[in-house]
Amino acid sequence: MGKQLVKIPKGRKVCLKDFDPAYNDGVKSKQHAEKELEENLAVLDDLGYRLFAENRRSLLLVLQGMDTSGKDGTIRHVMRGFNPQSCQIVSFKEPSAAELEHDFLWRVARVTPRRGFVGIFNRSHYEDVLVVRVHNLAPRAEWSTRYDRINAFERLLAEGGTTIVKIFLHISKAEQKKRLESRLDDPNKRWKLCRSDIKERAYWNQYQAAYEKAMTKCNTPYAPWYIVPADKKWYRNLIVSRILRETLEKMAPAFPPAEEGLDDLVIE
């Protein structure tokens, strides 16, 4: 099989059937992947520290995917490469009554990462063109306008100094079944399983279509989408670490200049 795209070219119509969730790009083994992952995490630790010290820009990682695709696992295994002091993780659940009294982007704008920080969205503003669309929680005339509003919002963030990376963790329906069964069978994992997870599985095709639309409509140079094969957890972690490393290396954060005259300072 030839090399599979990860970063989606601008203007390309996304069809998830074109992407193999089990693809591993010839990586020889889990051990090889974990070795490179550790190397990437060491680089991310340094670059994240420089970003924090620089205190001029921020990085926002948006994680989306079907249930069990590995959003929590990605955060646990990849984001450990960053100093917790400079990380901010936000998980978006069902909107509260107060949040529903505002525009759908209100709760998101309040928690975007501040300068020097790496922000991680576990689910995000895209839920408002995914679950809202699939379950008809808002009129089509409302949610269909949200793609343009999301693009405008992300442009505003980018122009303000936030680099945005959006990752769709792509798993197969068969792999999701295995992971749900694993949660059911393991007493230590049952806390992660809800009946609603099983009910949502019945809407698989509708969610795939909603994701395809969102990634097609909201894939921009300032906020690109990446489709990461996620059937193999170790490959998923490796690719996310590569994307973050490449992004931060392009940002090239640097330590700010030291205060003048420190060479002559004597500490007694």
Considering the domain boundaries, does residue 3 fall inside one? no
Considering the domain boundaries, does residue 180 fall inside one? yes
Which residues is 243 bridged to in the sheet? none
Considering the domain boundaries, does residue 115 fall inside one? yes
Going from the C-alpha of 119 to that of each of 162, 189, 251, the distances in angstroms are 10, 27, 15
Considering the domain boundaries, does residue 267 fall inside one? no
Considering the domain boundaries, does residue 191 fall inside one? yes
Considering the domain boundaries, does residue 266 fall inside one? no
Q: Which domain holds residue 222?
A: 16-93+110-253
Considering the domain boundaries, does residue 81 fall inside one? yes
Overall domain count for the chain: 1
Going from the C-alpha of 175 to that of each of 22, 116, 178, 182, 230, the distances in angstroms are 9, 37, 5, 11, 9
The pTM is what? Answer: 0.94
| H-helix or E-strand spanning residue 103 | none
Considering the domain boundaries, does residue 157 fall inside one? yes
CATH number of the domain that 45 lies in? 3.40.50.300
Burial degree of 225 (CB within 10 A; 0-12, 13-18, 19+): buried
- Output the six-digit token pair for 239: 């690719």
Distance CA 180, CA 215 (A): 26
Which residues is 122 bridged to in the sheet? 63, 91
pLDDT, one tens digit for every residue, the chain (268 residues)? 356 889 999 899 999 999 999 999 989 899 999 999 999 999 999 999 999 999 999 999 999 999 999 999 999 999 998 999 999 999 998 899 999 999 999 999 999 999 999 999 999 999 999 999 999 999 999 999 999 999 999 999 999 999 999 999 999 999 999 999 999 998 888 998 988 889 999 999 999 999 999 999 999 999 999 999 999 999 999 999 999 999 999 999 999 998 888 888 888 8
Contact (CB, 8 A) for 62 and 247: no
